[in-house]
Amino acid sequence: MTGSETLYEKAVIHIPGGVNSPVRAFGSVGMTPRFIASAEGAYLTDVDGNRYLDYVGSWGPMILGHANPLVLEKVEEACRKGLSFGAATEAEVEMAELICSMVPSVEMIRMVNSGTEAVMSAIRAARGYTGRNKIIKFEGCYHGHCDAMLVKAGSGVMTAGVPDSAGVPSGGTQDTLLAVYNDISSVENLFDIWGKEIAAVIIEPAAANMGVVPPKEGFLQRLRDLCTENESVLIFDEVITGFRLGRAGAQEYYGIQADLTTYGKIIGGGMPVGAYGGKREIMEVVAPVGSVYQAGTLSGNPVAMAAGMAQLTYLNEHPEVYEELSCLGEMLYGGMKKMCQELSLPCQVHTVGSLGCMFFTEQAVQDYTSARTSNTEQFCRYFRYMLEQGIYAAPSQFEAMFLSAAHTKENVQYTLDTMHKYFEK
């Protein structure tokens, strides 16, 4: 029995499913999760000493690679001063100034502790600002596990959502409306029906939780126009795309500005951090300035702020990182596309910058319904083979691959060669 298997047997006794987040479970690929002991650069090492080339990157935030020396140095300095104060610090001010200087649409920002908390708070702020209750979200877009966002995908476009989790009362999602990603008419229909009752539209500008599904040309701009016309708040969930697709995230990448934006662990260098920010007039409804209450005892933790400042400062001062990541993305995902064509594989490869995904389906993928046509059994066999060859990707067909600045062309070529050997079998 391996060390990971031994730990898993212990874990299931005291931890539901043996994991502290379902995304870490390997159940969908019929395996025991790998328990990781350490990480450095582009590699993970598990408790059995197996070394893996990592394309998960802690689900995105490790854009500079694991255990980046610049980040570790600042974290160590902060730790020596104290782990937590529960009081205001200079680091919080510096972080707010830096983010607002990098993202033109963010004039004020509030630190929280996770992407879920950021989304929950942004929705509350949008409702408080507009005095309305209804929220439009898109099938297949994941916005954390707050009640209003746990809506069953495919339950209908012009009806209120149905909870997709036990423990969520129907009242928790009665004001959540579902639209179809990349189908602007589904959004227009909702505005035609509900009009001025819609407080906000929330979207992953580049969907990355149903695999990677880029927006169609003009789709995001039309959302922007609809929200402006109806005085609704446009919320970009950039927990994944923020500071990854560019210094100003997807808003820079696509040239569209949101009213509110949510962020996740990338602003903490991988530590548990989140934030939401946007227009000053909206953010000033948040307590203690306004009447929308939101609080967090450990929000803006000084150690997390130190990690985030180190990472974001480097990205801000070295924009060439994004050019290099784009080149690696073109090499990896472009190579995957070429392989699929040459070998006539029933697969679709999608990419947005350093994000990518291979769908095991012949059908073109543009939304949640088409993504679900993927053959998950084929993905399972592919995943197992890649893991055996030392390549660690997400144990799910519907997750993204993440490149980091620590990956090399040699890493990418090894990955492509390994894929080619699998598909030639």
| Residues labelled as active-site residues | 142, 237, 265
Return all residues near 126 (Cβ < 8 A) that are at least 6 apart.
Answer: 135, 199, 200, 233, 235, 259, 260, 282
Distance CA 160, CA 7 (A): 42
Residues 6+ apart with CB under 8 A from 109: 96, 99, 100, 275, 276, 277, 283
Q: Which amino acid is at 207?
A: A
Q: For tokens 């997750």, name the residue.
A: 399
- The answer to whether the CB of 229 falls within 8 A of the CB of 223 is no
Spacing of C-alpha 362 from chain mean position: 26
Tokens 């609080």 sit at which residue? 295
Determine contact, residues 201/234, Cβ cutoff 8 Å.
Answer: yes
CA 275 to the chain's CA centroid: 13
User: Rg of the chain's alpha carbons, rounded to an integer?
Assistant: 21
Q: Dump the DSSP string for 278-320.
A: E-HHHHTTBTTTSSB----TTTT-HHHHHHHHHHHHHHHH-TH
Helix (H) or strand (E) holding 235: strand 233-237
